[in-house]
Structure 1
């Protein structure tokens, strides 16, 4: 009988943890204030000509990273003033550490001056991300027909 209670308790804990992780996936949070300068790889990736640069932090064997790359590259392609860069931190964990990134994929949005506007853990939802970025884009034109 004790084994059944242990099994039910474990199942309930797993369901609660899964629900919590699913709720956090793709959630947009405000950007962090940097305690130190941006890592060189990130500073070089920021496009000063774009209104917003999306820096995707990925690792080599991350399946959701490929999906995130597809979502962000299409969004950047169809949105004026938006630039997307994918940084693989598999061999450069110090970049993720300096940015306070604990999971991949994580997407960081930077203005041309290098200030973090927002961050998303997991696969972003394109419509919600575009709505959050609209005030920071030089023009709000998107090209949905492409």
Structure 2
């Protein structure tokens, strides 16, 4: 009888987890923000992670930012990273897609985002191979593919979606003011 209860509990937990993931897939969520009082803890954790064994921290010399979702220096470093990839962002917004070679939904996402970038002026679509850019993937907290980041004109994250491909209407809605036809709403 105990085995039956354990089986039922496992099925219930798996069902709730599956329904939660299904609900979140392909939906844009606002960018996370970091509280100012977290800065020292985030910087210390980052420095400890990057420091070579037995050596000093290199955080001061590598120009890395505190957290990928902060405004200010993080936005500049993401813009520099995109420029280093040889793909400048859009004037008003950038749809930054992280994909992998084995990801089936990534192909559908690529088509949807390219279509939106084609019809919305000032919006660019950039696709990044997650396997080839693991450092960037870690800094931005990308957990699975496809993940789409909506960046504003200053390369700051506005929102993100991961999992199933988002619909074209959801992408346009996530662009928000950048998707308005007059071009002055940013």
Question: TM tier, shorter chain?
Answer: 0.7 to 0.9
**Structure whose residues are more often helix by fraction:** 2
User: Which one of 46, 51, 54 corresponds to residue 88 of structure 2?
Assistant: 46
Higher CA-based Rg: 2
Kept in 1: contact 2:150–2:174 (CA 8 A) = no
Which protein, 1 or 2, shows the higher relative CO under an 8 Å CA cutoff with sep ≥ 6? 1
Q: Which position in structure 2 is the counterpart of 1:33?
A: 70
Question: Does 118-127 or 86-95 show the bigger shift?
Answer: 118-127
Change (3 A) 1:66 1:86: same
Unaligned runs of 5+ in 2: 32-68
TM-score (norm 1): 0.81
Structure 1 residue 40, shift from structure 2 partner = 4.7
Cα distance in 2, alignment partners of residues 21 and 84 from structure 1: 25
Change (3 A) 1:8 1:138: closer
* Equivalent residues, number: 140
User: Which one of 82, 90, 110 corresponds to residue 123 of structure 2?
Assistant: 82
Q: Which position in structure 1 is the counterpart of 2:148?
A: 107
Kept in 2: contact 1:29–1:119 (CA 8 A) = yes
Cα distance in 2, alignment partners of residues 100 and 39 from structure 1: 17
**Structure whose residues are more often strand by fraction:** 1
Is 2:100 the counterpart of 1:59?
yes
Change (3 A) 1:39 1:111: closer
Q: Which runs of 4+ in 1 moved over 3 A?
A: none
Unaligned runs of 5+ in 1: 142-146
TM-score (norm 2): 0.66
Kept in 2: contact 1:75–1:126 (CA 8 A) = yes
Kept in 2: contact 1:46–1:110 (CA 8 A) = no
Structure 1 residue 65, shift from structure 2 partner = 1.3
